[in-house]
Amino acid sequence: MRVSLNRNLAELGFVARPSGEILATYAGVQNTYLATFVSLGGLGLLLGTLGFVIVLLRSVAERRGELAMMLALGLGRGRLFVIIVAEHGLLLALGMAIGSVAALVAVTPQLLSAMAEVGWVSLAETLLGCVFAGVAACAIAAASAVRGELLSALRSE
């Protein structure tokens, strides 16, 4: 029947194709869009991590007097380093968790569809990259805060 329809209606531009083939074409287009949005989402996540780094460095710079006071009261530099990394690491973890849950809620309808193709490995790599960058930024900011001479910051406090 399909061959007959194609032959008789070819001059009108009619082409009969199996519905599975048409759906596969649409799914390919949909998956291309999803891959693009995943890439853009990863870029947004990296930009958010960069914003976190900037806020973190600013926060540590503004708290130099407080950190100097802690050192003057007998808190060791190593302990101070751990406190700074822990408090900012908690903020990083909460931000990543909230963002990941919000993204998961947003894509739940797609995940429930029969033709869902999710690149879990690349998604996990992106998230781990952002966590690594955030933790590294926490460590760098904490090291810069406890490394320098804090006596001048204490005097200005």
In a domain, 52, yes or no: yes
If we measure between CA atoms, which residue out of 79, 85, 33 comes closest to residue 59?
85
Range of the domain at 123: 34-156
In a domain, 20, yes or no: no
Mean pLDDT of the region 19-41 = 81
Total tally of structural domains belonging to the chain: 1
In a domain, 24, yes or no: no
In a domain, 7, yes or no: no
The per-residue pLDDT for range 68-77, each reduced to its tens digit, is 888 888 888 8
In a domain, 143, yes or no: yes
In a domain, 18, yes or no: no
Q: What φ, ψ does residue 155 adopt, rounded to 5°?
A: -65, -35
In a domain, 152, yes or no: yes
Question: How far is Cα 56 from Cα 130, in angstroms, rounded to an integer?
Answer: 15
Mean pLDDT of the region 107-123 = 79
pTM: 0.64
